[in-house]
Amino acid sequence: MSGLFIAILNMSFAGSIAVLIVLAVRFLMNIGRLPGRYAYLLWAIPGIRLLWPFIPEAGFSLFPAAGKPIEGRIIYAAVPSVDSGLPFFDIPVNAVLGQAAVSSEVTSANPIQIWLALGAAVWLIGCAGFVLINLCRYVRLRRRLRTAVLLEQERKDGGLKVYETEAVVSPIAAGFFRPAIYVPFGMEETDLSYVICHENVHIKRKDQLFKLAGFLALAVHWFNPLVWFGYFLMCKDMERACDEKVLDQIGPDCKGEYSAALLKFALRQDGLLIPLAFGESHTKARVKNILRYRKPAPWAGVLITVCIILAGCALSTDPKATTDGDPVIGGADGPAFSAELSDSVSVIGGADGPTSVFVAGKLDGEEEEIPYSPAASQEEPEELITDYSDEEAGLLVCHGLPGIFIYEREGEDWQLAHSIDMKAVDSSYMEEGKDTLVIFAGSGVVVGIQGSEGEGENSYFYDLDSKKLYRDPDLGDFLEAFWQLWKENALPK
């Protein structure tokens, strides 16, 4: 579920960028008083971003940000981060994520995992609630329309049905597979002809499918205010485009009568909650658009085409990744090492210094708790092998023949906080002919013991919070690639 939620967050981010770009292009179109039909077409691109996760990468892309700023392995990263390519977004978000990673001492689980799990649950509940509420409202509307009376004389244009009903006070088109027009009783013949023309344009252009797509985008991204704003403007542009098409059919001389018909039914239908019903909304803006509408000149058509092509290029592909594989990060003493060993292990180390590994979801209930005793002697850090050192966090992990030692900084001195007599736990610990790895793992320490030929591997995990030692065979799978890198001198020893 966390993986799905990460995909949703990535789609929502990319869709938000697409909405902002469409808003900018739409603003320029409105300044030039260009027809709303072109602005309406632009909304298909954010719709694709919000609903289709398989966006291709291209060597040349005008999309200003990474399409997938959150990688799936963020769950397992020692220092979780996002990379959208937008510093004003990445810096504050990564600061919060980094602080959460440092201050995660209250639980042995990865805090990012907890947040994603909770977020996924809330997102799923929100989706279900949104769909259920709107479905109930639509079903209730359909029930109210059951008593509608068919106007036989208006059955034209390919069998389009027009009904009179007291269930509505403003004309609407409702239905998905077999849409029909519903009007209130007693409409004047002139107004009725305009209504039928308007709603018929909606149905012929399959606007119900676009509105359904918008509804699905809202259901999936209900937590994103930009998606709501984009849907609201898409509905406005849909009505503008429909009005312009009607004016092309009835002629500019009928602008006054058509606008008057709109004003008679200036009831604001809730287009958000009834996705397959088209009501007369945004009446004031629509009337202003009708009265100032002019067919665009040929040069304007060229300009519109160029704008749409540019917007399409900007949003249809993701920028290609600039690097392949895992990053190598520089440090004061030389290049550092970074690698993803598996879906659950991240390794970070310096050219001359220790290596750290973060194992996510380490406690799954299948581990065997092992009794242990503290090391028989308290060794000074200088007499031991340093496995992990973080001066800022005040943590030092070392090992030697007496066992495993974990120190915490108090003032200027290192004070022993944890110790394990590993020889008493596993007689092969630091035995001749055996390789021993001690690795800091987020909120604990992983100990791996393996024969020089790769046989007889034992793996343990010591949890700093509970001060318990576990034997966990699953860690052997996590450590397999790490052993290989270590033996090939790809990691500092």
Task: Give 381-424 pLDDT, tens digit per residue.
Answer: 778 888 888 777 788 888 888 899 998 888 778 888 899 999 89
Q: Write down the pLDDT at residue 281.
A: 55
Q: Write down the pLDDT at residue 132.
A: 94
Q: Write down the pLDDT at residue 128.
A: 95
Residue pointed to by tokens 């810096």: 91
Q: Write down the pLDDT at residue 480.
A: 60
Task: Give 81-131 pLDDT, tens digit per residue.
Answer: 788 778 778 788 878 777 765 555 444 456 777 888 899 999 999 999 999
Burial class (CB in 10 A: 0-12, 13-18, 19+), 312: middle
Domain positions in the chain are: 2-139+206-261+281-319, 330-487
In one letter, which amino acid is 75?
I
Dihedral over alpha carbons 255, 257, 258, 259 (to 10 degrees)? 80
Task: Give 150-200 pLDDT, tens digit per residue.
Answer: 876 544 555 678 888 888 877 888 877 788 888 888 888 888 888 888 888
Q: What does the alpha-carbon distance between residue 478 and residue 493 come to, in Å, rounded to a whole number?
A: 19
Q: What does the alpha-carbon distance between residue 211 and residue 79 come to, in Å, rounded to a whole number?
A: 41
φ and ψ of 468, to 5 deg: -115, 150
- Say if residues 73 and 346 touch (Cβ distance below 8 Å): yes
Q: What does the alpha-carbon distance between residue 387 and residue 440 come to, in Å, rounded to a whole number?
A: 7
**Cα three-residue angle 25-30-31, rounded to 5 degrees:** 100
